[in-house]
Amino acid sequence: MAVILKSPGEIDAMKAAGQLSAEVLRKVGELVKPGVTTLELDEFAETYIREHGGIPAFKGYGGFPGSICASVNEQIVHGIPSKKVVLQTGDILSVDTGATVDGWVGDNAWTFAVGKISDDKKRLLKVTEQCMWAGLESAVAGNHLGDIGHAVQSIAEKAGYGVVREYVGHGVGHNMHEEPNVPNYGHRHLGMKLQVGMVLAIEPMINMGTRKVVDGDDGWLVCTRDGKPSAHFEKMVAITEDGPVVLTTEPDHRRPL
């Protein structure tokens, strides 16, 4: 598949989906606390998205049953919300939300602390967020995909963490996953050249230990092989003539906290 470049007007149109996706992510984050189930968070997210003019982008996508992905501690990505998963003090929860508005998809993720967490988990969240911002800042016309990956990888590995290879960022538009894939590792000046009109989801998945992963039994869940925690942060960015423009954001909330 070819990369689908977006016009300035189309990028403006995507901002509604981006804002709603960011808003519901923030609202879900406000509900994250000990004793809450991930199914409760999912039900809230679906209702909120629909009441605000959107469609949950994840629900039914490839058969996925939830409106959010909810991944706890060593779970990296694609956790299915469940009434059996009750959040506990000290957990970290990665929440991935997506909303479709007027045919355009918004996609973003954040890892939230559940109550008071350990210092090593705080450091993992801080570093992974830094990785995401560095990747977003590298989404400049004339750079290459390798520049984004290198920006993420260098920060993560300097901190002693593993960078997941099997799951990467991607293009976004009318479809949630478009070309190109956007790895969170790479070398500067290598890979596809970035062009004005690209819209990318940059989403580092960083493990406290090894980068190696293991698949769960449900066909969706992905966990760290060594059982150590993982964090996942994601925002969607448009490459414009004036530089990178983050689309999954709210006017008064750069971060969903």
Question: Is 150 flagged in the annotation as binding?
Answer: no
* Burial tier of 142 (Cβ tally within 10 Å: 0-12, 13-18, 19+): exposed
Question: Nearest-CA neighbor of 92 among 54, 126, 61?
Answer: 126
The pair phi, psi for residue 73, each rounded to 5°, is 55, -105
Gap between the Cα atoms of 43 and 117, Å rounded: 25
For the four alpha carbons of 28, 34, 37 and 38, in that order, the dihedral sign comes to: positive
Return the bridge partners of 201, or none: 170, 236
Gap between the Cα atoms of 161 and 69, Å rounded: 23
**Cβ neighbours of residue 154 under 8 Å, at least 6 residues apart?**
none
Question: Is 170 flagged in the annotation as binding?
Answer: yes
Question: Is 78 flagged in the annotation as binding?
Answer: yes
Structure tokens belonging to residue 77: 């990505």
- Contact predicate 237/143, CB 8 Å: no
The one-letter amino acid code at 193 reads: K
Annotated binding site: 78, 96, 107, 170, 177, 203, 234
Annotated binding site for substrate: 78, 177
Annotated binding site for a divalent metal cation: 96, 107, 170, 203, 234
